A and B are shown apart, each in its own frame.
Chain A
Amino acid sequence: MKKRGKSDRIAYLYIFPLMILSFAIVYYCIIDTVFVSFTDWDGMSAEFNIVGASNYVKMLKDPVFWGSVCNNLIFFVGTVFVQAFIGFILAVFLKTKLPGTGIFKAVYFMPIAMATSIITSIFKILMDPTNGVLNQFLRSVHLDMFACNWLGDPKVALFSVILVNIFQWMGFSMMTYYAGLMGLPDDVYEAARIDGAGFFKTVFHITFPMLRGTTNVLVILGIVGSLKTFDIVKLLTGGGPGRSTTVMNTYLYEKAFNDFNAGGAASIGVSILILAVVMSFIQIRLGEKE
């Protein structure tokens, strides 16, 4: 018993630095953000007043906040499911080991290794309505009706941002599914082939259900990732035109750095945290039920 206690102490000693770091970097910041959300701090001065829940009341009455929540949800649905679906299809094709699959794997994965600022700069040029390659290509193949103001039309801009995000993160879904596919037993496919299942039947009735765990992980990561979305929106559209691409994090940034309203920004930060926890919890419960 004595020995056990001693080894516990050593174990605690090992994790002590990490606990200190975690507290200093993560938990202290969360606690501080919650505290700031109840103040009128401007983000700079030493002085502030406790204002109770007024930041939350203002936030809940603010149509821009609700617009940004709505944009986050559209972004989540548009990104996570489409990205997972494309990633899944690519992983299935790559598993067939056709010639050149290694190269394709690297090509699809490459955008993840690229800085968001580079990707957004390239897409801004590609999506330019007058000089951009995207519209020029569509016009050259007589698909003029699809040529549009990708980033300048409020009805289209959010979907353009989603498109760029899918391009950047599709490779991640692909690699995650690919890793999952590698762990599937071959005898199941053997049995399916004997039973006469075709390619699509095998993919959607065997492979996809067997990768449910992978899909769950991707959805949870997608929830967190979409709630964290900031850089891609900030760099592509800055939240505009109008408020059409403003998401919670760009609005938080605007409150903190443009309006010097750190209290208001913190209340948005806390709501993002709560949303992330709730949505992840729901997804985990749904996954367990299935």
Chain B
Amino acid sequence: MKKTLKRFVAIAVSATMLFGMTGCAAKSQEKDSKDTSDGKVKLTFWSWLPTNDQSDEMIKEFEKENPDIEIEYTRTEQDDFFEKLQVAMASGTGPDLFGMTTGPMMEQYSKFSMDMGSAADQYWSGWKDKINTNAVSQSTSKSGTLVGMPMLIAGMTTLMYNKTLMDECGIEKVPINYAELKDAADKAKAKGYVCVAAGASDDWINTDWFVQTSNEFEKGAVYEAEKGDRKWTDKCFVDTMNAWKKMFDDGIFEDGALGIATYPDARDQYFFARKSVFFMTGSWHLGPTSTSNTEIVGTEIGNKKDVIGMEPFPSVSDSVERLGTSGVDLMVCINKDCKNVEAAMKFIEYLSDGWGQQYWVNYLQGSPVSNEIKYKGTIDGELQQQSIDDVNKYVADAAGSRKLSNSEVEKAIHVAMQNVAAGADPNKELETVQQIYDSSK
């Protein structure tokens, strides 16, 4: 009897485990059921934007406008987002809508995305007149498909500054060229402050800086090199590398910047902690110029009620012109397996040209992609209006796109920049970039 019982238990356990495994598989395949029990269309949406602060209000308002649609939003930090998405897409369990960046990521995900141009033509009349043409062009793949709808535009590189600390250090104006930046660094150092807090361990900010600054030395050269029309070893790129090295040698950036990330390290431990006068970032970070911005509440600069502003990054070439780059900071794609395209398009319209877009723009999350939307938020910072105007002009006058389309070349540039900052020869490092470019073709 005992033996029979043991056998029974063994068989039952084996069977349970096997059924458990198959059960899991069945469950994941059933996940795509879109209609909720109350008859609403349910759309899953994964992205890093909107932030948690923004998403509740934005989604609530959309669901109020569209009571028959329910949005199930999952936010993941941008660094982890793409791993999560890649695994989900590979296993066929991706969301209906997902956030995306332009460049290499967009090219890769284009095969998983619905042609946004066709979907918009069908469900959103007149969209082409409403959305920024340049942003649409940046969201179009090499094969000519509009991969996703652009949502926000961001410009690189900008300098967030602490006016209160500038006054304390005797820095009379925000530097606009390298000589003024060097002078500011000397004055900041004399008072025990870091001049510019930079997260030079991040590949994204380094390559953004390289693309932007190389345009100062020779406008458009970086895009020609990307197409193979010129060499990465050309003088303008060597000059860019040398300018980068000077940032470290002249003490513009903090010591050990190569080991510090922009977010959260450089922002929190230096700029928000009142240890640096400036912070190298992009146009999306205009929020702290408002005294009521939640991001600075409880930080040293918030507690001391410091006056914060933002300006384009100083020109580091001999030219006085500060030449920025701009790019789509976020686009939203529709999964090609999405069954409710009409509902998905309503949400996309809301985010790119409706209440959602206005909310984002008022939040200073980025510049609008909608031609009809302008900043309508409250101006509550001493320098906020000036910062918004200056940065928006900088973004509007941008020399070109912020991102390259080859991830291996972007990585190679980042590695070369770090090696140059640590003392390597710029020419040799750029030769390596060229070799990687050649082998990736």
Closest 3 A-B residue pairs measured CB to CB? A151-B259, A152-B259, A129-B256
Q: Which residues of B contact A44 (CB under 8 A)?
A: 86, 89-90, 108, 112
Q: Please report B residues at the A interface, Cβ cutoff 8 Å.
A: 6-7, 10-11, 13-14, 17-18, 21, 82-83, 86, 89-90, 108, 111-112, 194, 200-201, 203, 254-260, 265, 269-270, 273, 275, 407-408, 411, 415, 418-419, 421-422, 424
- B91 CB to nearest chain A CB (Å): 10
A24 lies within 8 A of chain B by Cβ:
yes
Residue of A16, A125, A241, A258 with highest tally of chain B CB at under 10 A: A241
CB-based contact B7/A152 at 8 Å:
no
Residue of A with least CB distance to B6: A10
Per-residue 0/1 for A33-53: is the Cβ within 8 Å of any B Cβ (1 yes, 0 no)? 000000000111100000000
* A241→B422 CA distance, assembly (Å): 8
- How far apart are the CA atoms of A254 and B415 in the complex, in Å? 13
Q: How far is the CB of A10 from chain B (nearest CB, A)?
A: 7
Q: Does A260 contact B (CB under 8 A)?
A: yes
* A153 and B112 contact, CB distance less than 8 A: no
Q: Across the interface, which residues of A come within 8 angstroms of B408, CB to CB?
A: 259
Q: Are the CB atoms of A257 and B265 closer together than 8 Å? A: no
Q: For the complex, is A209 an interface residue (Cβ under 8 Å from B)?
A: no
A residues near B259, Cβ cutoff 8 Å: 127, 129, 149-153, 157, 237, 240-241
Q: Which one of A20, A124, A241 contacts B17 once the chains associate, using CB atoms below 8 Å?
A: A20
Q: Report Cα–Cα, A67/B322, bound state, in Å.
A: 38
The smallest C-beta distance from A264 to any residue of chain B, in angstroms, reads 11
Set of chain B residues within 8 Å of A16, measured between Cβ atoms = 14
Number of interface residues of A (CB under 8 A): 37
- Do A154 and B422 have beta carbons less than 8 Å apart? yes
Measured CB to CB, the nearest residue on chain A to B435 is: A63
Asked if A152 contacts B411 (CB within 8 A), the reply is no
Convert A226-248 into 0s and 1s, putting 1 for each residue whose CB lies closer than 8 angstroms to a CB of B: 00000000000110111100000
User: Would you call A240 and B418 a contact (CB within 8 A)?
Assistant: yes
Taking A17-B17, A128-B269, A152-B255 as contacts, is the C-beta distance between A241 and B260 under 8 angstroms? no
Supposing A13-B11, A240-B418 touch, asked if A153 and B17 sit within 8 A by C-beta, the answer is no
Q: Which of B11, B407, B422 touches A242 (beta carbons < 8 Å)?
A: B422
Instruction: Indicate whether A21 sits within 8 Å of B17 (C-beta atoms), given known contacts A44-B108, A131-B273, A154-B422.
Output: yes
Given contacts A125-B269, A129-B255, A241-B422, 20 further A-B contacts (CB under 8 A): A13-B11, A43-B90, A44-B112, A45-B111, A124-B265, A128-B265, A129-B256, A130-B254, A131-B270, A131-B273, A150-B256, A151-B259, A151-B260, A157-B259, A237-B259, A240-B259, A240-B415, A242-B422, A257-B83, A258-B407
Inter-chain contact A257/B111, CB cutoff 8 Å: no
A 235-290 contacts with B by CB, 8 A: 237-238, 240-243, 254, 257-260
Question: Given the known A-B contacts A14-B10, A17-B13, A241-B422, are A153 and B275 also in contact in the complex, defined by CB atoms under 8 Å?
Answer: no
| Chain B residues with CB below 8 A from A128, complex form | 256, 260, 265, 269
28 contacts between A and B (CB under 8 A): A13-B10, A14-B10, A17-B14, A21-B17, A24-B21, A44-B86, A124-B265, A128-B256, A129-B254, A129-B255, A130-B254, A131-B270, A150-B256, A151-B259, A151-B260, A152-B255, A153-B256, A154-B419, A154-B422, A237-B201, A238-B203, A242-B415, A243-B415, A257-B82, A258-B407, A259-B407, A259-B408, A260-B108
With both chains docked as a complex, state the minimum distance between the C-beta of B344 and any C-beta of chain A, in angstroms.
21
Across-interface contacts of A150 in B (CB, < 8 A): 256, 259
Q: How far is the CA of A243 from the CA of B86 in the complex (A)?
A: 25
Looking at B89, B258, B260, B419, which has the most chain A CB atoms within 10 Å of its CB?
A: B258
Asked whether A241 lies within 8 Å of B254 as measured between CB atoms, the reply is: no
Contact partner, B256, options A21, A24, A151, A254, Cβ 8 Å: A151
B254 CB to nearest A CB, Å: 6
Residues of B within 8 A of A151 (CB): 201, 256, 258-260
A240 CA / B206 CA spacing, docked (Å)? 13
Cα of A10 to Cα of B194 in the assembled complex, Å: 72
Nearest opposing residue in chain B for A47, CB measure: B111
| Chain B residues, CB < 8 A from A10 | 6-7, 10
Chain A residues, CB < 8 A from B89: 44
- CB nearest to B10 among chain A residues: A13
* A130, B164: Cα distance in complex, Å: 21
Residues in A whose Cβ lies below 8 Å from that of B17: 17, 20-21
Residues from chain B with a CB closer than 8 A to the CB of A17 are 13-14, 17-18
Q: How far is the CA of A240 from the CA of B421 in the complex (A)?
A: 12
Closest to B3 in A: A10
Complex contact A242–B7 (CB within 8 A): no
Q: Collect the chain B residues with CB atoms within 8 Å of residue A260's CB.
A: 108, 407
Contacts of A152 in B (CB 8 A): 200-201, 255-260
Task: Find out whether the CB atom of A153 lies under 8 angstroms from the CB atom of B422.
Answer: yes
Query: Measured between C-beta atoms, what is the minimum distance from A229 to chain B in Å?
Result: 18
Closest approach, in angstroms, between the C-beta of B23 and any C-beta of chain A?
Answer: 14
The smallest beta-carbon distance between A30 and chain B, in angstroms, is 19
Contact partners of A21 in chain B: CB under 8 A: 17
